[in-house]
Structure 1
Amino acid sequence: MLHEPPLALITNGRLQHHNLRREMLTKEDVLEQLRERGIDDIRRVKQCCLEADGHFSVVTFDGEPESAPEVGSSPVH
């Protein structure tokens, strides 16, 4: 079974508009995914990829992968 390689949507804080168009995504779609991970500034993102399974993977310049919150999980206080 062949898997598509991850597609870069953000590289070094810059949107890859060609790849967004290729996947019919908007800037707002990507910014929403970043906000869900607590990232409020695209310039903090070293790499954001659309994975073969449709999920976004995000790595910030501090080197930490950012994960989306679990659906239905309660916030930690």
Structure 2
Amino acid sequence: MPDWSELLPLSLPVGELLSRGTLTFLGLTLLLRIVGRREAGGLGMTDLLVIVLIADAASAGLTGDAQTLGDGAVLVGTILAWSLLLDAAAYRWPRFAKLYKARPKPPVDRGRLNRRTMRREFMEEAEVMSQLRLHGIEDLRKVRRAHIEPNGLISIIPYEDTEIGETPEPPASWGRLPRVSTGQAVN
């Protein structure tokens, strides 16, 4: 029978546990943001980070590496709190979101490879072409734009109903848009 009085109390001060969890989460978030996200697959980098840190913090309490389960609980709570706080801040303040959240990057733009993006993401032409083939596209010129999404997957926007190399025309249904000046109603 476990001795509950030794399992639940904290072995370290709460402030130290909060500091450790905060510094670890923020430091790894910054490193992952700098390194990139191409290898993440279906998860966002922050999601992956939270999962790994929670698993590590919880396992320390489960395997006995930490002194008590309370230590692991404080660390898990700290990690989740920072994850929620940063997501809420990114939602509330768009300028912060630009720094914190990854944005899509185009390895293909108007039927041409974007070598700068490919260099930044360490992608070779063969990898881009492989992704195009997975989307059923064999000719690079048929791609209006491709994006490496924040979760690491590549989305592709092909040209529609145009010959290769042609610039598509806007639909006829758009017609001519009415001019609007300040204080004037549009009929």
Query: Per the shorter chain, which TM-score range?
Result: 0.7 to 0.9
Helix, strand or coil: the match of 1:49? strand
How many angstroms apart in 1 are the aligned matches of 2:111 and 2:141?
Answer: 4
The structure carrying a bigger strand percent of its residues is: 1
Which of structures 1 and 2 has the larger relative contact order (alpha carbons within 8 angstroms, sep 6+)? Answer: 1
**Inter-partner Cα distance in structure 2 for 1:37 and 1:23:** 20
Size of the alignment, in residue pairs? Answer: 63
- Percent identity at matched positions? 30
Q: Residue 34 in 1 paired to residue 132 in 2?
A: yes
- Gaps spanning 5+ residues in structure 1: where? 64-77
Question: Residues of 2 paired with 1:38 and 1:47: CA distance?
Answer: 15
Amino acid at match of 2:149: E
Indicate whether 1:56 and 2:154 are aligned. yes
C-alpha offsets along residues 49-76 of structure 1, whole Å, 9 cap, x if unaligned?
A: 101100001000118xxxxxxxxxxxxx
Q: TM-score, normalised by structure 2?
A: 0.33
Q: Confirm or deny that 1:25 pairs with 2:137.
A: no
Deviation (angstroms), 1:11: 0.5
Unaligned runs of 5+ in 2: 1-86, 88-99, 162-187
Q: Which one has the bigger helix percentage?
A: 2
Alignment RMSD: 1.2
Q: Which residue matches 1:71?
A: none
